[in-house]
Structure formats: C-alpha cells, structure tokens
Amino acid sequence: MSPDRTASLSHFAFMPLPNFTMIAFTNAIEVLRMANYLSGQTLYRWSVVSPDGGPITASNGLTVDTSPADSIGQPDIVFVCGGVDVQRATQAEHLSALRRFARSGIPLGSLCTGTYALAKSGLLAGYACAIHWENMSALKEEFPDTRFLKELFVVDRDRITCTGGVAPLDMMLNLIAARVGTARVTQIAEQFIVEHVRDTSAQQRMPLVARLGSANKSLFEVISLMENNIEEPLSREELARLAGMSQRQLQRLFREHLGMTPTHYYLTLRLRRARELLLQTDMSIMHITMACGFQSACHFSKSYRDSFGVAPTRERRQQVAPLAAGPGGSPPVSSLMMHA
C-alpha cells in the first residue's frame, strides 16, 4: 500500500468473528482512539460490523455490539478479527461480506487468526501474509497459493495482515505514521508504555527462543535447518556440515541446551508438525506421513503413538465428538488456537 493511500485512511471497520481474541481487537482500536485524543480532533473513526449485525462474543466471554456490514457505507479499510476455533467461526456469510468489500476496492486486513477468513475467501491468493506461528503449518498446506511469513505483520499491496496479542498495536502505529507523523506515533507509544515500536521487519518470537534466549546462534541455526527441511529430513552429517561444526559438537550442543540428541529433537519437531496437520486439516494420514518425512505410514503411526500416547487415526476420530457438540460443547481439538 502506498504512503499516500495509507495517509488517507480515516474510517476503519473491524469484523470480529465469534470467539475472536479481545486483546488483538482492542489493541488495534486503542491506537486510533489515542491518536484522536492526543491530536484533539477526530482523525479516525471506526465501525464494528458483522454480516447481519448484533452482539458477537469474544473468546474471553465479553461481547461487542456490531452493525450490519452493509449499513456503514464504504470504509477505507476492513480488518477481520479472528481467535479461537476460527475454522468453525468463519461462516459463508463472512466470506460473502469480505468478497463484497474486495469487489468495492476496499483494502482488507486481518488480526490474529482472521487471516484464515481472508484466505478461505480466496482473497489472499498470490499475497504474502502473517498469522500466528501456531497456525502457520496447517494453513500453508491448505492455501498453497499464499505465502505465510514469520513477520509480526505484513503489508502486501492492499492486504494488511497481523498476528495476535499485542502485535496489532505495532501494526497500527506503523499504519498511521504516514498521516500523524513519527512524533505523534512516539507520543502514542509512550502513553501505552511501549518502549520500542516494531516494524515490518520484526518476526514472531518462537517459543524456543523465548525459553533459551538468543545467545546460542549455532543452536538456532541448526533448528532452523530442521524446521525448513521437514518433508525431506537432513541427516546428522548434513546438519553438522551446513552449520559449520562437527557431529560431536552438534551432539554436545543439543545435549547441553535441550537435554536430548539432535535426532530425537528432529523427530519431535516432525511429530509436532504432523499433529498440527492431523488436527487442523483434512489431509490424509498418508499425505501427512510424506509431508513430515516418514518413510511409511507404519513408522509414522508407531512414532506418533510413542510420542502422544494415541494412534493418529484414533486421535483424528476423537475430534469429531467435540465438533459435533456445537457452540455449547467443549472447543474442538482441531481448532486453530490463539494463545498470544
């Protein structure tokens, strides 16, 4: 999106899906509110919409009132806001509303797992986008025409997508900078006790990095090699060579920091990826077997059962019951969860 078009944004619309994540939703809106407050004028206004209007309940149990999507005129940009169980929350009427906005030439964005709704609408084909790291693997498989990046938020032409938690605050501060200026952005950040505003180059922090810190670059380099080579796993010799160390050093590195061999860690990584695909997609067991680098379904099934205590076929069957429970039942295992 060009700076001129970004600077022209003044009317923001937010479309929360059922079970949306409140923290992502409010972080985005609060930036606009504070910009108005500090400037002493109404630079921005916002509408909260749904296909038919009415209250929408967030994942924390609070509700927001919404207006019908076709009753607010033509906003400058629309953000769909996702959260827990976004697959079930995204209904045909949401997809139709998003497509109507797109046909009108309105830029579209997403917060948290709302990226799923845009992709499901066919509105991210050929685009790069952001989504929470926990959902990335499954969506890559389901939407191969979309590039899912590790950045906190991604601006690609007329699509602005963002991960969850507090990342929408960073995204909105970057988005309004073209209109209000960097000095005002700094003031807003200071009001929210934000010491550093992250930009489009900032990436999501993976759990391992958060747990171990960033001191051992060699360890993260090897893990990155593993994560990028799931379908065709690298041998221990190849990992050591590509990381510029001996196999003995590689073994010692993993034993010292993770308490396991690199082979065990690699297997665990592939099994976690397999479980994401099993519970978040309709991929066949054989397809998952191949996508996660296992030589046979038998080997995959045994490894999966050893790790999770249940066979993959049985675990997939078990998710049917909560799905059938409906809104009053327990959240399904297959939901695209958002924990940020």
* Residue ranges of domains in the chain: 3-191, 207-323
- End-to-end alpha-carbon separation of the chain, Å? 27
Phi then psi for 31, rounded to 5 degrees? -65, -45
Q: So what's the pLDDT on residue 129?
A: 96
Q: Which two tokens stand for residue 268?
A: 């665990």
* Distance from C-alpha of 331 to C-alpha of 124, rounded to nearest angstrom: 27
**What is the residue type of 249?**
Q
* Distance from C-alpha of 110 to C-alpha of 77, rounded to nearest angstrom: 10
Each residue's pLDDT expressed in tens, for the chain with a length of 340 residues = 787 888 889 999 999 999 999 999 999 999 999 999 999 999 999 999 999 999 999 999 999 999 999 999 999 999 999 998 899 999 999 999 999 999 999 999 999 999 999 999 999 999 999 998 878 878 888 999 999 998 999 999 999 999 999 999 999 999 999 999 999 999 999 999 987 888 887 877 656 654 565 557 788 889 989 999 999 999 999 999 999 999 999 999 999 888 899 999 999 999 989 988 888 788 899 999 999 999 999 999 999 999 999 999 988 887 544 434 443 333 333 333 333 3
- H helices of the chain, in order, are 3-8, 22-39, 86-89, 92-103, 114-120, 133-142, 167-180, 182-191, 207-212, 217-227, 236-243, 247-258, 262-280, 285-291, 297-308, 312-318, 320-324
* Distance from C-alpha of 48 to C-alpha of 44, rounded to nearest angstrom: 14
Q: Which two tokens stand for residue 133?
A: 């790291």
Please tell me the CATH code under which domain 3-191 is placed: 3.40.50.880
Taking the CA atoms of 268, 240, 203 and 212 in sequence, report the sign of the dihedral they define.
Answer: positive
Q: Which CATH class name applies to 207-323?
A: mainly alpha
Beta bridge partners of 153: 162
Q: Are 115 and 129 in contact (CB under 8 A)?
A: yes
Q: Are 233 and 294 in contact (CB under 8 A)?
A: no
Three-state SS letters, 283-317: CCHHHHHHHCCCCCHHHHHHHHHHHHCCCHHHHHH
Say if strands 77-81 and 63-68 run parallel, antiparallel, or are unpaired.
unpaired
* Distance from C-alpha of 76 to C-alpha of 63, rounded to nearest angstrom: 25
Cα-trace Rg, the chain? 22
Phi then psi for 107, rounded to 5 degrees? -60, 145
DSSP state letter for 181:
-
Q: So what's the pLDDT on residue 113?
A: 94
Say if strands 147-149 and 128-130 run parallel, antiparallel, or are unpaired.
parallel
* Distance from C-alpha of 105 to C-alpha of 1, rounded to nearest angstrom: 13
* Distance from C-alpha of 125 to C-alpha of 282, rounded to nearest angstrom: 20
Say if strands 63-68 and 54-57 run parallel, antiparallel, or are unpaired.
antiparallel
* Distance from C-alpha of 319 to C-alpha of 339, rounded to nearest angstrom: 20
CA 15 to chain centre: 17
Q: So what's the pLDDT on residue 211?
A: 55
